[in-house]
Amino acid sequence: MKNIKMIIAGLIAIAIFASLPVFCAGLFAEETSEDHLIAGKEYYDKSNFGSALAEFDKAIALEPDYPIAYFKKGCIYLVLRQPQAAVECFQKAIQLNPGYPAAYQNMGEAYLALGNTEKAIASFQKAIEIDPGFFQPYNSLGDLFLSMDKPEEAVAYFKKSILINQNDYYANYKLGQVYGKLNQHEDAIILFQRTLRINPKFAYAYYDMGNSYSALGKDTEAIAAFRKAIELDSNFGEAYYAIGLLYNKAGNAKEAQGYFDKAKKIFDEKGMDKGAAV
């Protein structure tokens, strides 16, 4: 019996000894750039941007030619509203990987934040040149041309975005907004309805749809849309104000005042100028 125990003990010792190199290798394994990239993303998802930047810097220290680490740093600088630092990171990512459409896309957003419209447009267009199926640059160009009061150009880009990704609620919504600006309200309503089929909880689509119904003289439908916007966002002051205008138009001053008062309270709380005019 004693011999058997000694044999078993010996076998166990051999097994433990044999496993030690594997165990120690795992315990003392060197961290890789990818490890730091993963850790940085985890910090980013928790909005711990300082720690995320530190992890991405560690990844770059281990692998200086690591374009995605520079790209991730640029994304953080965009969130932190440091567009010049973001541009520099995206430029480095592009230097290391010239065919990096997402880096061009985000660099365009950084240039916009710097007020450099020309370079922003060039960056978005380069992203499309590299990957014509990348829908985000089309949306960015559509937004940019809309802000420049060039609705026809905006329409073209939003349409291209929708052709690539029909379920992009944002492009459908923005195209509806452009049609509203062009007084094509029936087309706008169709797009807002499509937006809401994709994203039923998007209060702004109901609000803009209400404005289009109002422009067409369909006040009942407009009020219903504004109320739906309020149902989704109880602090949607513009929707209360719009209902007040419609009740006032219908001669229901008492009902209108209730909505104006609610709108004014929300505007005042938000520090919005419109509240003083209610």
- Residue 44, in any domain of the structure: yes
Element (H, E) at 203: helix 203-215
- As given in the structure block, the two tokens for residue 112 are 């916009």
- Residue 45, in any domain of the structure: yes
- Residue 233, in any domain of the structure: no
Q: How far apart are CA 196 and CA 166, in angstroms?
A: 13
DSSP string for residues in 174-200: HHHHHHHHTT-HHHHHHHHHHHHHH-T
Q: How far apart are CA 28 and CA 214, in angstroms?
A: 68
- Asked if pLDDT for residue 21 goes beyond 50, the answer is no
- Asked if pLDDT for residue 13 goes beyond 90, the answer is no
- Residue 167, in any domain of the structure: no
Structure confidence at residue 33 (pLDDT): 87
Whether the Cβ atoms of residue 97 and residue 61 lie closer than 8 Å to each other = no
Q: How far apart are CA 111 and CA 91, in angstroms?
A: 12
The mean per-residue pLDDT over the stretch 198-215 comes to 98
pLDDT band with cut points at 50, 70 and 90 for residue 273? low
Classified as helix, coil or strand, 148 is: coil
- Split into its structural domains, the chain has a count of 1
DSSP string for residues in 62-104: H-TT-HHHHHHHHHHHHHTT-HHHHHHHHHHHHHH-TT-HHHH
- Asked if pLDDT for residue 119 goes beyond 60, the answer is yes
Domain that holds residue 111: 28-134
Burial letters 50-67, b for 16+ CB under 10 A, else e: eebbebbebbbebbeebb
- Residue 94, in any domain of the structure: yes
Q: How far apart are CA 165 and CA 128, in angstroms?
A: 14
Which positions ≥6 away from 87 have C-beta within 8 Å?
Answer: 74, 107, 110, 111, 114
Q: How far apart are CA 37 and CA 68, in angstroms?
A: 9
Whether the Cβ atoms of residue 45 and residue 80 lie closer than 8 Å to each other = no
Sign of the CA dihedral with 174 first, then 45, 103, and 109 last? positive
pLDDT in tens, 81-113: 999 999 999 999 999 999 999 999 999 999 999
pLDDT band with cut points at 50, 70 and 90 for residue 66? very high
The CATH number of residue 101's host domain is 1.25.40.10
Q: How far apart are CA 274 and CA 263, in angstroms?
A: 9
- Residue 234, in any domain of the structure: no
pLDDT in tens, 138-191: 999 999 999 999 999 999 999 999 999 999 999 999 999 999 999 999 999 999
- Residue 271, in any domain of the structure: no
- Residue 222, in any domain of the structure: no
Global pTM reads 0.81
Q: Identity (one letter) of the amino acid at 213? A: Y
